Structure 1
Amino acid sequence: MSRFTAAVVQMRSTAQPHVNIAAMDDLVRAAAAQGAHYVQTPEMTGIVQQSRKEFFSTLKDQAEDPVVAHAANLAAELGIHLHIGSTPIAAGDGRAANRAFVFGPDGTLLTRYDKIHMFDVDLDNGETWRESAVYQPGNETCILEALGAKFGIAICYDVRFPHLHDAYARAGVNVLTGPSCFTRQTGQAHWHVLLRSRAIETGSFMIAAAQGGDHEDGRATFGHSIIVDPWGVVLAEVAGEEPGLALAEIDTTLSQTARAKVPNLSNRRDFNPPKAKQTT
């Protein structure tokens, strides 16, 4: 099987997991009804909450998390691969794990991934984020073989680190994933170019579901959930920031075709690290 239909689900998650579960359920069902075999939800599907006190009071262990349980049952009911882009899980060290889950068509948990790169930034207009104060970073990559493809699992800020995606491509990945909760400010500047760049330079599909709009905790996210092909062509996109979904056919042979045209993965050469030039 080299072809399957993928869907990205765009949400505007709240601080209330039960509200987000209902919104996820509706959109995932709609995607499956339109023929999606693989459905991806955004980063922070289960909770978007800036208040640390309220955030940590809501956290559950993986075995008790309602988003995880509902997603497993939903995947089994619909007979799809359901990729929860991420949801926060209690990590046991006073921080959370920003964790992705992929469930198979029988509801089995196929794999999970903890976000590696923490969004610690100081943006314009006083917008500051310190994910490392809240989340325990992961240190393991994750490749899933399903639907005739090899998926490389990543989350949001990971997209800014080309070496991660290069490592995935070198390991045979042909579908990259970037579920996100991109800020409106960074999204307007960088969202499309980053996702298309990772697709182009690796000759891979990029599938990235996103949060969108003005959230009840005060943050603003960019939306524009997107599916990009290995040549950098946008196959499907949720226009704007409103909740919704977009679908596209994934033909993994297009990855082979793109890599044959521009074989940069095999043309790569090692080189000596740069040194400061001595002047006299």
Structure 2
Amino acid sequence: MTRIALFQMRSGIDPEANFAAIAEAATRAAEEGALALFTPEMALLLDRDRRRAARTIAASGYADYPRRLAGLAVEAGIDLALGSMPVAHPSGKWLNRAHYFPADGGAPTLYDKLHLFDVALASGESWRESNAYAPGAQVACVEGSPVGRLGLTICYDIRFPALFEELGRRLCDCIAIPAAFTVPTGAAHWHVLQRARAIEASAFVIAAAQVGEHEDGRTTYGHSLVIDPWGDILLDMGDEGPGLGYCDIDLSRIGAVRAQVPSLANRREIPKSRPL
């Protein structure tokens, strides 16, 4: 068994306060025997006011947070999967970037969110992530993590099966899906999509989430989850507030499920449609 920790957060607009919360969680998780800590999307800075966020990202010291987070992983003695943080991009926009920092001080694995959340919900909420963010361009996996080969995704990526098909091709043992899901979409789709992605990839899904009413005025769904390769929910942290949750991962479960339902081995290329 491999123990992991999920930090369900209510991140705010001050990256230093968010960093302090992550540092405390990393120390506590390591003390409880966890080998890896997973945080949500936008764990370091959650601010829908883009002018204010731009000032924060441009401030002296902000660019040093990845180095500090890498040092935290070493100091606490725990791998740290930072769900994401905004980073500057040459285009003048930002990237929504996940970082995986190993406890041994090795180079981090980076993943930039491929699919940007541009939606208008029936509730009246409207989000245009592409106004401020550039999309990523590559799939990323962490090799040799405490949970085996770990595929990295972020939030809205969950709605695009081709990404998870590729992670399945790469035989990922676990897939991280950190998120800041809205309440309407979370209530409708969060659990079913997480379970579907675990079943399709025959892999564990680890989904640390933001929760509750944030400083910037948004409300997020919570329900940080761990799903096993059969689609069973091993951990659901609910929506009552931030906190640490723990789950013991049995990696032998992956082989058992893939032997029982060998969908990855049975996969065939879908013929492309011909022009009419």
Normalised to the residue count of structure 1, the TM-score between the two structures is: 0.93
Distance 1:138 1:53, change over 3 A: same
2:167 paired residue number: 168
Q: CA deviation at 1:254?
A: 1.0
1:224 paired residue number: 223
2:271 paired residue number: 272
Cα-to-partner distance string for 1:172-216 (whole Å, 9 max, x where unaligned): 211011001111111111111111110011110000101000111
Aligned to 1:150, the other structure's residue is in SS state strand
Q: CA deviation at 1:125?
A: 2.0
Identity in percent: 43
Q: CA deviation at 1:62?
A: 12
Q: More deviation in 242-251 or 52-61?
A: 52-61
Distance 1:21 1:126, change over 3 A: same
- Give 2:77's match in structure 1, choosing from 76, 79, 91: 79
Do 1:226 and 1:246's aligned partners in 2 also have CA atoms closer than 8 Å?
no
Residue 104 of structure 1 aligns with an amino acid whose one-letter code is P
CA separation in 1, counterparts of 2:74 and 2:101?
A: 8
2:189 paired residue number: 190
Aligned to 1:46, the other structure's residue is in SS state coil
1:96 paired with 2:94, answer yes
2:198 paired residue number: 199
Do 1:221 and 1:241's aligned partners in 2 also have CA atoms closer than 8 Å?
no
Do 1:60 and 1:89's aligned partners in 2 also have CA atoms closer than 8 Å?
no
Residue 72 of structure 1 aligns with an amino acid whose one-letter code is A
Q: CA RMSD in A?
A: 1.9
CA separation in 2, counterparts of 1:62 and 1:153?
A: 29
Q: More deviation in 163-172 or 24-33?
A: 24-33
CA separation in 2, counterparts of 1:127 and 1:47?
A: 20
Do 1:101 and 1:109's aligned partners in 2 also have CA atoms closer than 8 Å?
no
- Give 1:57's match in structure 2, choosing from 52, 55, 58: 55
Q: More deviation in 54-63 or 151-160?
A: 54-63
Cα-to-partner distance string for 1:111-161 (whole Å, 9 max, x where unaligned): 111000001111112111111111111010101112261000100011111
Q: CA deviation at 1:257?
A: 1.0
Do 2:173 and 2:204's aligned partners in 1 also have CA atoms closer than 8 Å?
yes
Distance 1:116 1:241, change over 3 A: farther
Residue 270 of structure 2 aligns with an amino acid whose one-letter code is F
1:45 paired residue number: 43
Distance 1:205 1:62, change over 3 A: farther
CA separation in 2, counterparts of 1:229 and 1:133?
A: 36
Q: Give the 5 Å matches for 1:201-216.
A: 201-216=200-215
Residue 96 of structure 1 aligns with an amino acid whose one-letter code is W
Q: More deviation in 59-68 or 138-147?
A: 59-68
Q: Give the 5 Å matches for 1:95-114.
A: 95-114=93-112
Q: More deviation in 54-63 or 134-143?
A: 54-63
1:10 paired with 2:8, answer yes
Distance 1:230 1:242, change over 3 A: same
CA separation in 2, counterparts of 1:129 and 1:153?
A: 23
Q: CA deviation at 1:64?
A: 4.9
Aligned to 2:133, the other structure's residue is in SS state coil
Residue 73 of structure 1 aligns with an amino acid whose one-letter code is G
1:257 paired residue number: 256
Q: CA deviation at 1:106?
A: 2.8
Q: What is the aligned residue count?
A: 275
Q: CA deviation at 1:63?
A: 8.6
Residue 239 of structure 2 aligns with an amino acid whose one-letter code is G
Aligned to 2:108, the other structure's residue is in SS state strand
Q: CA deviation at 1:12?
A: 0.5
